[in-house]
Amino acid sequence: MKAARTVLEYLKNSGVQYIFGIPAGSVNAFFDELYDMKELTPIVTKHEGAASYMAAAYAKYTNHLSVCIGCSGPGGTNLVTGAANAMREHLPVLFLTGAVPVNTIGLNASQELDAQPIFQSVTKYSVTVKESKDLLKEIVKASEIAISGVPGPVHIAIPIDVQHETVENVEIPASPKRTAMVPEIDTIKNVAEQLIQRKNGYILVGQGVRNSVESLLELAEILNWPIITTPQAKGYIPEDHPLLVGVFGFAGHEAASELIAEGDGQVLLIVGSSLGETATNNYNLNLTKNRFSIQMDFDQSVFNRKYEIDMPVLGDINLSLLLLIEELRAKGLTRTSLEIKENKEILENAEEYNTKNVLLNIQKYLPASTRYTIDIGEFMSYVIHHMKVLDYDTFNINVHFGAMGSGIGSAIGSKLAEPERPVVCITGDGCFFMHGMEILTAKEYNLPILFIVMNNARLGMVYHGHALQFQRTHPSFEQNPINISAMASAMDIPSFQVTGLQDITNDMINNLMNLNGPAVLEVVLTDHNTPPMGDRVKFLSSFGK
């Protein structure tokens, strides 16, 4: 059996279904073997960078190892951004890159690159395998590392000749299983005591709560404490939950900021947030000022980074929450019965053709279960600030390490992970020009995804950022308008162009959503309103003075 085949057999037995990437000479053994392995489907993308974000989203929404492949040299370097993203997002992605034959290493062979050290800083493990007898063993080791402890990406570089060599007497080992990180029961008991002693507080929810939302809500209702989410955690707490205050941090809500700055909460219970820049409104010291701080996470490195934490709780968040709830119940606390909160938001200038009204009108006609993968652009702040959380896990927002265009790949990975769930990507023209050709990938695999392209013929976030910080913008931030609907039509992909609120109708949305493949909804709009970016501009303005 070829060494490459042993790898694929192991991945197949481990439940892997898709391999994201682009074929090339330095990985040809893998793609040749895939011809005879119908259980594994190669998702051939238009760019390796997009493939890496697809693989990350697939890992995120399946809670399973995913695989991404690229050629030696430029294919590998195109994957580095996605590996860094997976590292920040704690996603188990196995990155495979080809390499030049072992006997040509160091001879400046075509597309030669020592990828191992490049990936080392953005993965949990990176290695070059130079002997075929070691390949499967290293794949197994890397897969175990990827899913264990704090999950994350791993990388293996495989020379061409190693892939093609025959390996004798191969036994395909069982797939790895993750061992749960159980918090110390004494720590949980101490947390319960502290929560009871201090009657009021706030719960700050980060994206680490994704698989523990029901438990988080139960805890909040037992304590009857307000819930504040980070921008990345938007989508986990339903809009109508009576304890939800809103988003704190980038593009957050005034009510959440006021509560943190002026509220009398004695405790800040942080669940699944690393307390990074965007989650803390540029490291706002009011978060923990005069408050007893408790932080739950499975990543020990997040404790006491910027904020001094009085009581860190190390363990899988779902287990920490369940054990804490059990402890509080044992002490006589019970869940509070709360009424669903009515939406009393008054929409000002609801008839104005602007970004906020476009997004809210589109959401009005989409299923409540729709997952929105949000790209990087000025529209992102409107999504965080204004769009509604109608169902569980409905927003994929990546302010940690999302590249422009990452939302497009994420939409494809999400749809493959959960085919029955409606998926809508909200992107911009700048992002589209980077990875927009992946709509063709969605077409080739018959993936019904709606790609909403906010086309303002400029780099919107950069434009507004400079206008606010420097009171001027460079003319290169803007461009001549491009008809993106025409680009979609050239690929035989259905599209519709919006030029006013009256164009957004139920029939139009339904027609684009109910297809056997992708569609493009182009919104031609230059919005001169200042996006709700919170203190981000103040933070940038603090430099150079």
Mean pLDDT of the chain: 93
Distance (Å, whole) CA 286 – CA 279: 13
Averaged over 308-327, what is the pLDDT?
98
Report helix angle 406-417 to 48-62, nearest 10.
40
- Residue 531: pLDDT band by 50, 70, 90 thresholds? confident
DSSP 94: E
Q: Which of 104, 13, 17 is nearest to 413 (CA)?
A: 17
Averaged over 275-296, what is the pLDDT?
93
Q: 185-330 adopts what CATH topology? A: Rossmann fold (3.40.50)
Q: Do 373 and 50 form a contact (C-beta atoms < 8 A)?
A: no
- Other Cβ atoms less than 10 A from the Cβ of 121: the count is 11
Residue written as token pair 């005591």: 193
Burial class of residue 339 (count of CB atoms within 10 Å of its CB; 0-12, 13-18, 19+):
exposed
What homologous superfamily does CATH list for 3-164?
Answer: Thiamin diphosphate (ThDP)-binding fold, Pyr/PP domains (3.40.50.970)
pLDDT at residue 456 is higher than 80: yes
Q: Which residues of 149-178 are buried (b: 16+ CB within 10 A; e: fewer)?
A: eebbbbbbbbbbbbbeeebeebebeebbee
pLDDT (0 to 100) of residue 75:
96
pLDDT at residue 126 is higher than 80: yes
Q: Which of 445, 434, 385 is nearest to 405 (CA)?
A: 434
End-to-end Cα separation, the chain, in angstroms: 65
pLDDT (0 to 100) of residue 330:
95
pLDDT (0 to 100) of residue 215:
97
Q: Are strands 154-159 and 18-21 parallel, antiparallel or unpaired?
A: unpaired
pLDDT at residue 496 is higher than 70: yes
Averaged over 4-10, what is the pLDDT?
97
* DSSP-assigned states of every residue in 481-505: ---HHHHHHHTT--EEEE-SGGG--
What is the helix (H) or strand (E) element at residue 49, kind and residue range? helix 48-62
pLDDT at residue 339 is higher than 90: no
Averaged over 179-189, what is the pLDDT?
97
pLDDT in tens, 424-448: 999 999 999 999 999 999 999 999 9
- Residue 529: pLDDT band by 50, 70, 90 thresholds? confident
CA atoms within 13 A on the CB side of 303: 16
Residue written as token pair 């939406």: 343
Q: Do 252 and 222 form a contact (C-beta atoms < 8 A)?
A: no
Q: Which two tokens stand for residue 440?
A: 């063709």
Q: Which residues of 249-282 are buried (b: 16+ CB within 10 A; e: fewer)?
A: bbbbbeebbebbeebebbbbbbbbbbbbebbbbb
pLDDT (0 to 100) of residue 521:
98
pLDDT in tens, 38-53: 999 999 999 999 999 9
Task: Kindly tell me the number of DSSP H helices and DSSP E strands found in the chain.
Answer: 20, 18
* DSSP-assigned states of every residue in 139-196: HHHHHHHHHSSS---EEEEEEHHHHHSB--S---PPPP-PPP-PPPHHHHHHHHHHHH
Residue type, 187: T
What is the helix (H) or strand (E) element at residue 203, kind and residue range? strand 201-205
Distance (Å, whole) CA 459 – CA 536: 17
pLDDT at residue 538 is higher than 70: no
pLDDT (0 to 100) of residue 543:
55
Domains 185-330 and 355-538 are alike in CATH topology: yes
pLDDT (0 to 100) of residue 340:
76
Range in 92-101, 367-376, 382-391, 392-401 with the lowest mean pLDDT: 392-401
DSSP 442: H
Domain boundaries in the chain? 3-164, 185-330, 355-538
Averaged over 190-199, what is the pLDDT?
93
pLDDT (0 to 100) of residue 470:
79
Q: 355-538 adopts what CATH topology? A: Rossmann fold (3.40.50)
Burial class of residue 506 (count of CB atoms within 10 Å of its CB; 0-12, 13-18, 19+):
exposed
pLDDT (0 to 100) of residue 541:
52
Q: Which of 300, 79, 311 is nearest to 190 (CA)?
A: 311
pLDDT at residue 89 is higher than 60: yes
pLDDT (0 to 100) of residue 455:
93
pLDDT at residue 464 is higher than 70: no
- Residue 461: pLDDT band by 50, 70, 90 thresholds? low
Q: Which two tokens stand for residue 495?
A: 């599209």
pLDDT in tens, 385-419: 999 999 999 999 988 788 899 999 999 999 999 99
Distance (Å, whole) CA 432 – CA 437: 8
What is the helix (H) or strand (E) element at residue 128, kind and residue range? strand 125-128
pLDDT at residue 150 is higher than 90: yes
